[in-house]
Amino acid sequence: MGLPPDPIRDLSKPIERLVYRVGPADSGRRLDQFLAARISWRSRTGIQRLIEEGRLFVVSNEGGAEQPAKRASQRLQQGNVVVVVTQHPRVPLPNLDAKAADIEVLYEDSWLIAVNKPPGMTAHPAGRHLYDTLISILHRRYRSADPTRDVVPRLCHRLDRETSGIVLVSKDEDVRHLLGRQFEDRVVEKEYLAIVEGEMEQVEGSIDMALDRDHTAKVKVKMRTVSRGGQHALTHYSVLERSGGFTLVHCRPRTGRQHQIRVHLAAVGHPIVGDKIYGPDEQLFIDSLDGKLSEAARQMLRIDRHALHAFRLTFEHPKNTERLTVEAPLPQDMRSFLDAVRRDAAWHDEDRERP
């Protein structure tokens, strides 16, 4: 997975403009189709509304002036720049101060930070989440108007929004580049804890299945295992605990494919508890985005997010070359779920033992 874009501005401040350059693949494409692929939270009707409100502009050539878009069917050409003027953030920025104080720092020195990302927090601005993101909150915490104290946090990798755990953040571009190379070269040891449906029979094993985009799925980001083609993906796992029809699993991915652990565990018949894409029905993911999850659906999922946690990361410090290991404790929601499962299993065991 590539590195997220390098933030060159203070992300703790409101995003005033979204800027998209038209490349060769989009030359001749309609304006509404071009934007629908980039701001997927807006419908074509919503894009037409941007035009009517005077918040959508097209720059025809390098150094040219911004011209108001006139119609959604306008054809774009390579080299054009499309500019969307944003509205005020949905999340009041003052609230980010409290969020910044709540982010747990697991390790910090002059070059890098390791933080414990809470579940449900997007790593980088995207879609509906432009302000209440991990990088925006870190900018709120570390940026300063005083140049001698100003630190620009840069994400070195990402976790899915619902996945909790360790995220490495650099304090300068050189460190970010060096850590990024370690991720790309697969020398960073990533370890996860997952709670899965069913009690896994094997104590340990490996899942070696190639992954590819699932073009038949309703969810665009969904992946699948394939027998031919695709990208090589390998996950080692070991069982830590079985109880009440669930298993706590220690996972060590040896490749870094999108949704790798989630797809692999589902493929062997043990989807992660709470997984809205690879669990009971991918429609649950679509419903959750629209805020339409029913109480029955929540009970089916058992937990509000997929129970996956990045709990340990081992890498070479980019400056002193020492091997460094960072750990993040299991979050409260996963601990509470396991405690409830253990209590329920113990109750059933006692009930069976009664004469």
Whether 185 is catalytic: no
**CATH code at 57?**
3.10.290.10
- Verify that 142 and 45 share a domain, yes or no: no
Q: What is the CATH number of the domain that holds 292?
A: 3.30.2350.10
**Using one digit for the tens of pLDDT, what is the confidence trace for 71-112?**
889 999 998 999 888 765 444 554 666 666 678 999 999 999
Note whether residue 348 is domain-resident.
no
Claim to verify: residue 163 and residue 306 sit in the same structural domain: yes
Q: Among residues 116, 160, 121, which one has the least CA distance to residue 275?
A: 160
Q: Which amino acid is at 229?
A: G
According to the per-residue pLDDT averaged within each range, which of 138-142, 156-160, 231-235, 317-321 is highest? 231-235
Residue 5: predicted pLDDT? 44
Contacts of 117 (CB under 8 A, 6+ apart): 103, 123, 134, 159, 163, 164, 165, 166, 167, 310
- Whole-angstrom distance, CA of residue 153 vs CA of residue 141: 9
Largest Cα span, the chain? 86
Shared domain check, 190 and 293: yes
Query: Could you tell me if residue 151 is inside a domain?
Result: yes
The Cα 66–Cα 82 span in angstroms is: 9
Q: Looking at the structure, tell me whether residues 145 and 243 fall in a common domain.
A: yes
User: Do residue 61 and residue 138 come from a single domain?
Assistant: no
Residues 6+ apart with CB under 8 A from 159: 117, 123, 165, 167, 310
Q: How far apart are CA 234 and CA 257, in angstroms?
A: 9
**Number of domains comprising the chain:** 2
Question: Looking at 58, 85, 112, which one is the last position of a domain?
Answer: 85
Question: Which helix (DSSP H) or strand (DSSP E) does residue 96 occupy?
Answer: helix 95-102
In this structure, are 72 and 104 located in the same domain?
no
90 occurs within a structural domain: no
Share above pLDDT 70 across residues of the chain, in percent, rounded to a whole number: 85
Find the angle CA(32)-CA(124)-CA(117) to the nearest 5 degrees: 145
148 and 56 within one domain: no
**Nearest in space to 106 (alpha carbons), one of 345, 312, 334, 348:** 312
Catalytic residue among 26, 32, 160, 214: 160
335's tokens: 């601990």
pLDDT digits 0-9 by tens, 148-196 = 888 989 999 989 999 999 999 999 889 999 999 999 999 999 999 999 9
Residue 287 has pLDDT above 60, yes or no: yes
User: Are both 121 and 71 inside the same structural domain?
Assistant: no
End-to-end Cα spacing for the chain? 58
pLDDT of res. 253:
97
Instruction: For residues 114 and 241, state if they share a domain.
Output: yes
How do residues 223-279 score in pLDDT, each as one tens digit? 999 999 999 999 999 999 999 999 999 999 999 999 999 999 999 999 999 999 999
316: enclosing H helix or E strand: strand 308-316
* Pairing verdict, β 308-316 and 164-170: parallel
- Indicate whether 49 and 100 sit together in one domain: no
One domain for residues 70 and 164: no
Amino acid at 347: W
Which residues span the domain enclosing 75?
A: 17-85
